[in-house]
Amino acid sequence: MRHDSDGADLVFPAQLTVHTIGEWHEQALGRIGRDKGRPLRLDASRVEKVDAAGLQWLLSAYLTFREKDGGFRIFNPSDSLRERLIRAGCGAMLEDGAS
């Protein structure tokens, strides 16, 4: 994960899986909530692989931070992540609100 000067607050890694979610979780928690009341913008253009653990973390973080800190929005999702989120009924996380 890194900061991006292209409008993203954070950039997702290539994999959001059971093997990588622990590291992502620690790094993301340090950033989420810094700008209270403003949704965090997460660039997901690099995501190549997402498994059930990655989806579960996204949903949990989305629900936790939605009310408390303004939540987050995913933009530039890779095709695979977009498809998985929409299929799971989580299109509201996408910046364009796809369903």
Q: Are 70 and 40 contacting, i.e. CB atoms less than 8 angstroms apart?
A: yes
pTM, rounded to two decimals: 0.77
In the predicted model, what is the mean pLDDT of residues 76-91?
92
**pLDDT score of 35:** 63
**pLDDT score of 87:** 92
**pLDDT of 43 above 70:** yes
Bridge partners of residue 2, in order along the sequence:
11
**pLDDT of 1 above 70:** no
The CA distance from 12 to 2, in Å, is: 8
Strand, coil or helix: 15: strand
In the predicted model, what is the mean pLDDT of residues 17-21?
92
Mean pLDDT taken over the chain: 81
Higher-scoring residue by pLDDT: 33, 89: 89
Lowest mean pLDDT among 1-10, 50-59, 69-78: 1-10
Bridge partners of residue 12, in order along the sequence:
none
In the predicted model, what is the mean pLDDT of residues 64-76?
77
Bridge partners of residue 15, in order along the sequence:
49
Q: Can you say how many angstroms the Cα of residue 90 is from the centroid of all Cα atoms in its chain?
A: 11
Q: Are 43 and 49 contacting, i.e. CB atoms less than 8 angstroms apart?
A: no
**pLDDT of 98 above 70:** no
